[in-house]
Amino acid sequence: MGVIFSKRGGMNDSLFKDLEGVATEIVRDIDTDQNNDDQVLEAIFNIKKSKRFGERTGGMTEFDNFEIVGEGEAGKADELQEGYAKLLTHISFIKTFAITKEMVEDGRLDEATEIAKNFTRAYKRSKLEFATQCLVTEGETFMYGSKTLDKTTGDGKGLFATDHPGTKVGVSEQSNVFTNELGDNIDVLNYLSNIGRNFKNESGISNGFTYDTLIIPGNTPDLEETANRIIGTNLVVGSANNDINTQKGKWRLIVNHRWEAAAGKKPFLIMSSEANKALRGNMFYNRVDLHMMNDVDLKTWNLEYSGRTRFSAGFFNWRHIIMGGATTGTTLTI
């Protein structure tokens, strides 16, 4: 990733020339440094570059198992069908800031420097905020600012739904959203990870992926404590039994600080990192990296910066991830 800088007009003011160089380097340096927003985004999403207006992925149904045949007999020819497909269209984002002439005249370089730093941090934060809202919102749409956006998968259902269909006739609908909270023992985690491992693909064949990632909101400290105990304690959590904890070492905990759960709610996600990649689950596409343009506004004498980027987030498949503690969904009897 790199920031592209352009100027609309020439810089005739020597003071502005100096400050322009400082601001430009600050934006460039902070963009190349990783922060928590970058790390969380890369831990949850597959980050890809794109050179098109959008990215579309589809699939085919699977072959059935090989069958036994007698000597000289022909094998069965399966009819493959086109599976569900999804198009993710890239979206433009723009933000501006200004460094006033007075800042330059009065030598307020530190203040101008902080403005440039904040601008780049906002760029990184916006990417994770957008991707997070797309991921964790229940239903078929999500809000980013004042805009309502689509978050369906290839089957036309929301990422989390109780009735994901298969392509082939006879494949039962499947749920990947559950109202059960994590609780204080290993039972819910065990049940949900087992459900995920046995998700059927569009042909009705079990995927067999192992779930290994637990994602929780950043504003639920009690849930964070419980999660750490469940996946990190040597013995069985919430039990007097002197027995091993079968969940220890199986899970990676990600606390998404941009995910804020509603008051009294304790939602969580479990994900298979292998399925996320293989099935192209959580996808984030960088279409245009941050492009900066600056000019002097003749009416105010301010040095104005405008930054533009273009990216998208979405999902081609749903079988890589499960939501627990949801407002609506399937309720397990455990």
Q: What is the DSSP letter of 185?
A: S
Helix locations, the chain, DSSP H: 14-32, 36-44, 101-105, 109-136, 187-197, 221-232, 273-278
**Res. 213: pLDDT tops 60:** yes
pLDDT at 330: 97
Name all contacts of 138-142 with Cβ < 8 Å and 24+ positions apart. Answer: 138/177, 138/323, 138/326, 138/327, 138/328, 138/329
The CATH number for 104's domain is 3.90.1690
Range of the domain at 218: 4-53+87-324
Note whether residue 70 is domain-resident: no
* pLDDT bucket at 61, cuts 50 / 70 / 90: low
Beta carbons of 323 and 139 less than 8 angstroms apart = no
**In the prediction, which pLDDT does 195 show?**
97
| pLDDT for residue 203 | 79
In terms of Cβ atoms closer than 10 Å to its own Cβ (0-12, 13-18, 19+), residue 100 is middle
Q: How confident is the model at residue 5 (pLDDT cuts 50, 70, 90)?
A: very low
- SS3 of residue 259 by DSSP: coil
Distance from chain centroid for Cα 175 = 20
Q: For residue 10, is pLDDT > 60?
A: no
Q: Which band of pLDDT confidence, cut at 50, 70 and 90, is reported for residue 241?
A: low
* Model confidence band, residue 147 (pLDDT cutoffs 50, 70, 90): very high
Q: How high is the pLDDT of residue 306?
A: 86
pLDDT score of 202: 81
Cβ neighbours of residue 202 under 8 Å, at least 6 residues apart? 59, 61, 62, 83, 84, 166, 167, 168, 171
The answer to whether residue 334 sits within a structural domain is no
Categorize the per-residue pLDDT at 296 as very low, low, confident or very high, splitting at 50, 70 and 90. confident
| pLDDT-derived band at 67, boundaries 50, 70, 90 | confident
pLDDT tier at 15 (50, 70, 90 boundaries)?
low
107: in domain: yes
104 has a pLDDT exceeding 80: no
Q: Distance between CA atoms of 278 and 157, rounded to whole angstroms?
A: 20
Q: What is the mean pLDDT of residues 127-139?
A: 97
On whether residue 36 sits in a domain, the answer given is yes
Quick: pLDDT tens for 268-280: 999 999 999 999 9
Whether pLDDT at 44 is above 60: yes
Q: Hey, which bits of the chain come out as E strands?
A: 4-7, 46-49, 54-57, 86-89, 91-99, 141-144, 147-150, 213-217, 252-256, 268-271, 282-296, 303-315, 321-324
User: Which pLDDT value is given to residue 242?
Assistant: 63
- Has residue 45 got a pLDDT over 80? yes
Q: Is the pLDDT of residue 25 over 50?
A: yes
Q: Looking at the predicted structure, is the pLDDT value of residue 228 above 60? A: yes
Q: Is residue 72 part of a domain?
A: no
Read off φ and ψ for residue 268, nearest 5 degrees: -155, 160
Radius of gyration of the chain (CA): 25
Question: Angle, to 10 degrees, between the axis of helix 14-32 and the axis of helix 109-136?
Answer: 40
Q: Does a structural domain hold residue 172?
A: yes
In total, how many domains does the chain have?
A: 1
Please measure the distance between the N-terminal and C-terminal CA atoms of the chain and give it in whole angstroms.
47
- pLDDT of 31 reads 61
Which one has a higher pLDDT value, 201 or 11?
201
Q: Give the whole-number percent of the chain exceeding pLDDT 90.
A: 52
Q: Please say if the pLDDT value at position 78 is more than 80.
A: no
pLDDT in tens, 82-99: 667 789 999 999 999 888
Answer yes or no: is pLDDT of 32 > 80: no
Decide if 258 contacts 130 (C-beta within 8 A): no
Q: pLDDT band at residue 24, thresholds of 50, 70 and 90?
A: low
Distance CA 115, CA 24 (A): 11
Asked if 70 contacts 103 with a C-beta cutoff of 8 angstroms, the reply is: no
Average pLDDT, integer, range 8-16? 53
Average pLDDT over residues 166-178: 87
Tell me how far apart the alpha carbons of residues 72 and 235 are, in angstroms, rounded to a whole number.
Answer: 58
Question: Residue 312's pLDDT is what?
Answer: 97
More confident residue, 168 or 211: 211
